[in-house]
Amino acid sequence: MSIGRSGQSAGRGIEVRHLRAFLAVADEGNVTRAAARLRLTQPAVSRTLAALEQHLGIRLVDRSTHHLVLTPEGVAFRDKAAAAVAAFDTALDPGGLRHWPLRLGHAWSAFGPYTTPLLRRWQELYPQTPLELLRIDDRTAGLTRGEVDAALLRGPVEAPGLVTEVLFEEDRVAAVAADGPLADRTALRLTDLAGETVVLNTVSGTTTADLWPASARPTATLTVANTDDWLTAIAAGRGVGVSAASTAGMHPHTGVAYRPLLDAPPVPVLLARRDGPGHPALPNLVALAREVVGRDAGDG
């Protein structure tokens, strides 16, 4: 497929490979990784990207930093390139499933108790399209940056340009030091934690001081950037935490005890995707996620 400017021959125009190279660089933020993904050499990808920019007459990628970022023009062109490539692939693949992976991001705890059933069922139904589960410490698990095709998120998401669907809700649990006095309790309430330092994962977590009533806010907070640091701080006795119930199963820690939190509201678990053309297998993922949750709820 060649996309030529007026007055140019098709051979001198832009082909789908140019768009694929640009999208790979946009996703990876690095020419070397983009080349590995495309199974090309780094110089080949650089030349292809430069040819695309020259043809368009605009700079798509800012090369002034080690981690490449898109220029405003590159951000605007990205959706157009993705739509063009998706249309081309759909024409060649009427079944609607690409043979390269569908990337599913999560910040922590994935799909909770439904993670394994989802992955196994996907493998049974769509073996030709691998489903890659990627943990990315980001509020949208890399979705707004284009690092994944869809994401499993928890709590309200304010990022523009996303389509979200609540699949189920999780109870909250308290996370306390396993050798501390709160671990001796079978269940806890928010007021039991208010006198402690509360560890907050502000990058990907859902808990803020607003979870507590205004009259009983925590006396102190400690901010961390990911789940690993959150667990380490709690195990070291530096504070307590609040999370969704699936964290207890997905992130067990010998130094952390999880206890039911009786008076905290549940956490919605969302499946999110960008509002626009995307991986053709996304509708299959949405349908299967609904099926797995619905079937297990019915069995329960």
CATH number of the domain at 230, please: 3.40.190.10
Does any domain span residue 223? yes
Per-residue pLDDT of the chain (300 residues; tens, 9 = 90+): 444 443 333 345 789 899 999 988 888 788 888 888 788 899 999 999 999 999 999 999 988 766 688 899 998 898 888 888 877 766 765 555 556 789 999 988 999 999 999 999 999 999 989 999 999 888 889 888 788 999 999 988 877 888 999 999 999 999 999 999 999 999 999 999 999 999 999 877 789 999 999 888 998 999 998 889 999 999 999 999 999 999 999 999 999 999 999 999 999 999 999 887 788 899 999 999 999 999 655 443
Q: Is there a single domain that holds both residue 182 and residue 33?
A: no
Q: Alpha-carbon distance 280 to 151, whole Å? A: 15
**pLDDT attached to residue 296:** 55
Q: Is there a single domain that holds both residue 130 and residue 203?
A: no
Does any domain span residue 29? yes
Angle of helix 72-92 relative to helix 16-28, nearest 10 degrees, comes to: 120
Q: Is there a single domain that holds both residue 275 and residue 155?
A: yes
pTM: 0.65
- CA atoms 33, 203, 271, 277: torsion sign: negative
**pLDDT attached to residue 3:** 47
| Long-range Cβ contact pairs of 293-300 (< 8 A, separation 24 or more) | 293/114, 293/167, 293/168, 296/113, 296/114, 296/117, 297/168
Among candidate residues 61, 92, 123, the one where a domain is terminated: 92
For 141, the domain range is 102-169+268-299
With contact defined as beta carbons under 8 Å apart, do 196 and 237 qualify?
Answer: no
**pLDDT attached to residue 166:** 95
Q: Is there a single domain that holds both residue 87 and residue 159?
A: no
Count of CB atoms situated within 10 Å of the CB of 194: 17
Q: Is there a single domain that holds both residue 79 and residue 8?
A: yes
Q: Is there a single domain that holds both residue 211 and residue 251?
A: yes
Does any domain span residue 47? yes
Query: Quick one: how far is CA 226 from the chain centroid?
Result: 14
Phi, psi of 273 (to 5 degrees): -150, 160
Q: Is there a single domain that holds both residue 164 and residue 224?
A: no
**pLDDT attached to residue 93:** 59
Of 222, 190, 189, 227, nearest in space to 205 by CA: 227
Q: Is there a single domain that holds both residue 184 and residue 153?
A: no
Does any domain span residue 97? no
Tokens linked to 175: 């996370």
Q: Is there a single domain that holds both residue 162 and residue 278?
A: yes
Q: Alpha-carbon distance 209 to 191, whole Å? A: 12
CA angle in degrees (0–180, nearest 5) for 26-228-168: 75
Q: Is there a single domain that holds both residue 85 and residue 223?
A: no
Place of tokens 């961390």: 224
Does any domain span residue 294? yes
Q: Is there a single domain that holds both residue 162 and residue 272?
A: yes
**pLDDT attached to residue 300:** 39
Q: Is there a single domain that holds both residue 165 and residue 178?
A: no
CA dihedral 162, 166, 169, 175 (to 10 degrees): -10
CATH number of the domain at 49, please: 1.10.10.10
Does any domain span residue 139? yes
Tokens linked to 119: 């992955």
With contact defined as beta carbons under 8 Å apart, do 249 and 116 qualify?
Answer: no
Domain count along the chain: 3
| 3 state SS for 130-160 | CEEEEECCCCCCCCCCCCCCEEEEECCCCCC
Tokens linked to 95: 């079944």
Among candidate residues 35, 60, 92, the one where a domain is terminated: 92
